[in-house]
């Protein structure tokens, strides 16, 4: 009996010593985010792979639209958010902890359509601006026929599918249309929830998958989605769009990168802050090879927050910049230019 007590004491002491050498077991850090559906496919891949490599950090992200993500950040119900429309000054002012906005990837917005027998479609600036302004309502309209000689365009009404939710994709798309069409700017305007025309056949659906489903279900429909989403779902009918130089170009890594190259950050800091302002817009990119509708998409963080979560978020950003960019092209996104990657890493240090 005495021998058993000695053995038990030795084992107990050994366990205590081992615990002391290894230190306390670190608790799992849970990061909850919400927002943009535009980058959801690539973010899902990043977060899954990141959590596999970092067993003590779990990242959950809910795709619910840019506007909802920004509101969640303002309300303090998430640890980070994501938006294709960078936060406005008034929104930033509502976040007492301060905000760090980091462009994490970039992409293009494409027009998908459902038109039997029409496997290639070219839309001029006047044509696609007219369709979404509600002034062009038939597929055989002269503005569409002029750039598609020899194509049998039907005498069929165009069903225009738009986003129903508060969307950064809508913000980028409507911002481009407002830049190239005075009519669109005056009647619809740039917004996360544009005032789409009441005339014509306009149908609204939530997120990229909702828009895609509506286009698929309605022959004669056209809608706007993120290029990466169209690529991953294998959508074949994607229009070539006329750019500022008058050339018809298809979305892709080269044409997207050409457009992105013309975007410049302001060089200032965010309002009432020392955080670098990494916001850049290019509503109508110049360049013969540039795709006309391209944008960065941002992750949004609190500047001041829990130390453990801040460290985990900085680690997540580092992973997105160093490893995440390697798969951007294959998933239909535009890798960040090297100089932008450096700016993101420097600004991420403000997450404390």
The tens digit of pLDDT for each residue in 258-312 reads 999 878 888 899 988 999 999 999 999 999 999 999 999 999 999 999 999 999 9
Asked if 129 and 236 sit in the same domain, the reply is yes
Asked if 250 and 117 sit in the same domain, the reply is yes
- Average pLDDT (161-181) is 96
8 located within any domain: no
9 located within any domain: no
Q: Which two tokens stand for residue 140?
A: 């055989």
Residues spanned by the domain of 194: 109-258
Asked if 208 and 133 sit in the same domain, the reply is yes
The C-alpha atoms of residue 176 and residue 131 are separated, in whole angstroms, by 14
The C-alpha atoms of residue 189 and residue 67 are separated, in whole angstroms, by 17
The C-alpha atoms of residue 114 and residue 320 are separated, in whole angstroms, by 35
Torsion angles phi and psi, residue 334, rounded to 5: -100, 120
Torsion angles phi and psi, residue 242, rounded to 5: -75, 130
80 located within any domain: yes
* Helix, strand, coil share of the chain (percent; to 5): 40, 20, 40
Question: What CATH number does the domain containing 52 carry?
Answer: 3.40.190.10
Torsion angles phi and psi, residue 348, rounded to 5: -60, -25
Asked if 254 and 134 sit in the same domain, the reply is yes
Q: SS3 for 51?
A: helix
What sign has the CA pseudo-torsion 161, 166, 172, 175? Answer: positive
Asked if 71 and 163 sit in the same domain, the reply is no
Locus of tokens 């006329």: 242
Asked if 245 and 116 sit in the same domain, the reply is yes
Q: For 298-314, what is each residue's pLDDT tens digit?
A: 999 999 999 999 999 99
24 located within any domain: no
Domains held by the chain: number: 2
209 located within any domain: yes
Residue 277 · residue 268 · CB < 8 Å: yes
Asked if 117 and 179 sit in the same domain, the reply is yes
Asked if 125 and 147 sit in the same domain, the reply is yes
Asked if 53 and 124 sit in the same domain, the reply is no
Locus of tokens 């994607």: 238
| For the chain, percent of residues with pLDDT exceeding 90 | 87
pLDDT at residue number 349: 97
The C-alpha atoms of residue 138 and residue 120 are separated, in whole angstroms, by 17
Contact partners, residue 199, CB within 8 Å, separation at least 6: 134
Of the candidates 65, 61, 3, which has an alpha carbon nearest to the alpha carbon of residue 36? 65
pTM of model > 0.75: yes
Asked if 87 and 184 sit in the same domain, the reply is no
Q: For 26-50, what is each residue's pLDDT tens digit?
A: 569 999 999 999 899 999 999 999 9
3-state secondary structure labels for all residues of 91-141:
HHHCCCCCEEEEEEEEEEEEEEEECCCCCCCEECHHHHHHHHHCCCCECCC
């Amino acid at each position: 009996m005495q021998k058993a007590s000695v053995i038990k004491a030795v084992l107990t002491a050994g366990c205590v010593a081992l615990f002391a050498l290894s230190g306390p077991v670190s608790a799992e850090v849970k990061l909850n985010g919400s927002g943009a559906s535009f980058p959801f496919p690539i973010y899902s891949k990043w977060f899954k792979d990141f959590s596999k490599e970092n067993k003590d950090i779990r990242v959950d992200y809910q795709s619910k639209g840019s506007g909802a993500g920004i509101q969640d950040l303002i309300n303090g119900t998430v640890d980070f958010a994501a938006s294709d429309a960078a936060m406005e000054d008034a929104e930033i002012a509502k976040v007492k902890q301060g905000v760090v906005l980091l462009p994490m990837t970039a992409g293009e917005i494409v027009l998908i359509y459902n038109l039997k027998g029409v496997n290639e479609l070219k839309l001029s600036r006047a044509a696609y601006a007219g369709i979404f302004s509600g002034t062009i309502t038939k597929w055989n309209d002269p503005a569409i026929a002029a750039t598609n000689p020899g194509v049998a365009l039907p005498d069929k009404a165009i069903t225009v599918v738009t986003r129903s939710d508060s969307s950064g994709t809508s913000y980028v798309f409507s911002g481009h249309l407002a830049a190239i069409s005075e009519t669109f700017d005056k009647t619809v305007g740039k917004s996360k929830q544009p005032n789409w025309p009441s005339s014509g056949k306009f149908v609204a659906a939530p997120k990229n998958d909702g828009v895609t489903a509506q286009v698929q279900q309605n022959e004669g429909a056209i809608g706007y989605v993120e290029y990466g989403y169209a690529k991953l779902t294998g959508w074949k009918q994607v229009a070539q769009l006329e750019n500022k130089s008058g050339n018809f170009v298809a979305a892709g890594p080269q044409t997207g990168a050409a457009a992105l190259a013309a975007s410049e950050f302001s060089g200032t800091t965010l309002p009432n802050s020392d955080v670098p302002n990494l916001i850049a817009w290019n509503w109508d990119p110049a360049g013969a090879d540039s795709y006309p509708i391209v944008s960065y998409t941002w992750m949004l963080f609190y500047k001041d927050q829990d130390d453990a979560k801040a460290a985990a978020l900085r680690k997540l950003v580092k992973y997105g910049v160093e490893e995440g960019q390697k798969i951007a092209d294959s998933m239909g996104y535009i890798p960040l230019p090297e100089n932008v990657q450096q700016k993101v890493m420097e600004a991420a240090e403000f997450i404390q």
